[in-house]
Amino acid sequence: MSEKIKIGLFGFGVVGQGLYDVILGQDLNLELIKIAIKNPEKKRSLNPSLFTTNHQEIFDHPEINTIVELIDDADVAFEIAKKALSSGKHVVSANKKMIANHLAELVALQLEHGTSLLYEGSVCGSIPIIRNLEEYYDNELLHGISGIFNGSSNYILSKIFNEQLNYHVALKQAQDLGFAESNPILDVGGYDPKFKLTIVAAHAYGLFLDPEQILNVGIQHISEHDIRYAKEKGFKIKLVPTAKKVGSAELITYVLPKFVKSDDFLFNVENEYNGVTVQAAFADKQFFFGKGAGGHPTGSAVLSDITALRYGYRYEYKKYHRQKGLSHSNEVDIEVYIRYAEESTLESLEVRNVVERFSRNDYKYVIGMVRLESLLKNKSLLEQGDVFIAHTGDYSFSEAALSISAEEEAVILN
């Protein structure tokens, strides 16, 4: 017999409304008792008695056994989750920033108080990647996980490459559709996928990372030159978070625009859809695909967590508890394309092993090796409007077909 879930909901925006819609009309042995909102004046279609602006009213309600947190403010969300877990209530959240920044403390609270925090909706919308990492891959050695984790930036890039829209027009469309915020930097700057990658790394590798340890560079400075270069090579550019084992003892993580080839699973992931590639030692390469933005896809993931609580489900963090010797590192070289304006940019980034270079008054780029640590140290430089960087991916530009001779380079530079 499943336990009846009685919910106190914090937030009734896009995802909160989406959750309510997917619950409606289903017999799931759960009841929505109270909803905390910020603006009591806003017109709503539900019974006004459901709503409150007093958070304490939900915590003190004797029937509520589960808190569902769906607000934007990560700091307030953390206080809500901490208070709920400490008072014996289960928590379901979709706040990836809050979870990424406080995961170690939240896991400790669950263990101390015998409560459960579930957050499938925080990573890749409708794709059940956290549950799969917890259950299907719990004893699997994972070589790497990468993908498209942010529907907003992917929508923008899809419009740029498929419909030849410029960046600002595509961004405005994403904002009008509710995929991107009025201040979109969390999405287009790569922060949102960085928080998601932090959570994924905890379940895939057993490491609770500080998001500040992870490089994130976004797409906000992409130019027509970068787009033309990618198209000439037969690539698309996607914003791709990556976690990858190097040897047996090190994990590297980063979020970068990436040149994606036509035979890559991610090449045809378009618009607000997300895609996750898992490279496993024994199961080999597997691919997950689904909607990553919007109220209903995220609401369905939240509902999946709520219904799992009826049967006492909790994350076990098996890889964290048996983790032996794996550490996070940024001391590794990766091959990148860099469009730049000043030669000092290349000096600051310590670019070496250059295999391709082009220079004219309005467009300069190099392809070469850069240390992740150097990119992280110079992150403010990478956020300037005259710099764009993209990972060259798994296709080496150092091959003869893509490199140019010293004589050819001299011609280009002159």
Report pLDDT digits (tens) over 31-90: 999 999 988 888 887 888 899 999 999 999 999 999 999 998 999 999 999 999 999 999
Q: Is 6 one of the catalytic residues?
A: no
Residue 131 has pLDDT above 70, yes or no: yes
The chain-wide mean pLDDT, for the chain, equals 90
Report pLDDT digits (tens) over 186-199: 999 999 999 999 99
- Bigger pLDDT: 405 vs 216: 216
Q: What is the pLDDT of residue 369?
A: 96
Catalytic residue, chosen from 196, 238, 245, 364, is 196
Measured between alpha carbons, how far is 315 from 131 in angstroms, rounded to an integer?
8
Q: What is the pLDDT of residue 400?
A: 34
Q: What is the pLDDT of residue 412?
A: 36
For residue 43, the 8-state DSSP code is -
Residue 239 has pLDDT above 80, yes or no: yes
Residue 97 has pLDDT above 50, yes or no: yes
Measured between alpha carbons, how far is 1 from 362 in angstroms, rounded to an integer?
69
Residue 120 has pLDDT above 70, yes or no: yes
b/e burial code for range 120-133 (CB count within 10 A of at least 16 → b): bbbbbbbbbbbbbb
Report pLDDT digits (tens) over 218-233: 999 999 999 999 999 9
Structural domains for the chain: 139-289 (3.30.360.10), 333-413 (3.30.70)
Measured between alpha carbons, how far is 283 from 137 in angstroms, rounded to an integer?
9
- Bigger pLDDT: 407 vs 317: 317
Contact 6, 65 (CB under 8 A): yes
Distances (CA, A) of 297 to 4, 20, 125, 135, 197: 24, 12, 6, 21, 19
Q: What is the mean pLDDT of residues 171-198?
A: 92
Residue 115 has pLDDT above 70, yes or no: yes
- Bigger pLDDT: 347 vs 27: 347
pLDDT band at 254, cuts 50/70/90?
very high
Q: What are 136's two structure tokens?
A: 């299907």
Q: How far apart are the first and last CA of the chain?
A: 78
Q: What is the mean pLDDT of residues 174-181?
A: 85
Contact 197, 214 (CB under 8 A): yes
pLDDT band at 395, cuts 50/70/90?
low
Nearby residues of 92 by Cβ (< 8 Å), 6 or more positions away: 66, 67, 68, 69, 117, 118, 119, 121, 302, 305, 306, 309
Residue 351: which of 336, 339, 363 has the closest Cα?
Answer: 336
Q: What is the mean pLDDT of residues 121-125?
A: 92
Q: What is the pLDDT of residue 414?
A: 34
Q: What is the mean pLDDT of residues 22-30?
A: 81
Can you give the pTM of this predicted structure?
A: 0.92
Report pLDDT digits (tens) over 261-315: 999 999 999 999 999 999 998 888 999 999 877 778 888 889 999 999 999 999 9
Residue 258: which of 224, 217, 287, 293 has the closest Cα?
Answer: 217
Q: What are 165's two structure tokens?
A: 């829209």
Residue 409 has pLDDT above 60, yes or no: no
Q: What are 20's two structure tokens?
A: 């309510």
pLDDT band at 394, cuts 50/70/90?
low
Residue 406 has pLDDT above 60, yes or no: no
Question: For the chain, how many residues are written?
Answer: 414
pLDDT band at 140, cuts 50/70/90?
confident
Q: What is the mean pLDDT of residues 341-367?
A: 96
Residue 348 has pLDDT above 90, yes or no: yes
How far out from the chain centre does Cα 150 lie? 6
Q: What is the pLDDT of residue 26?
A: 77
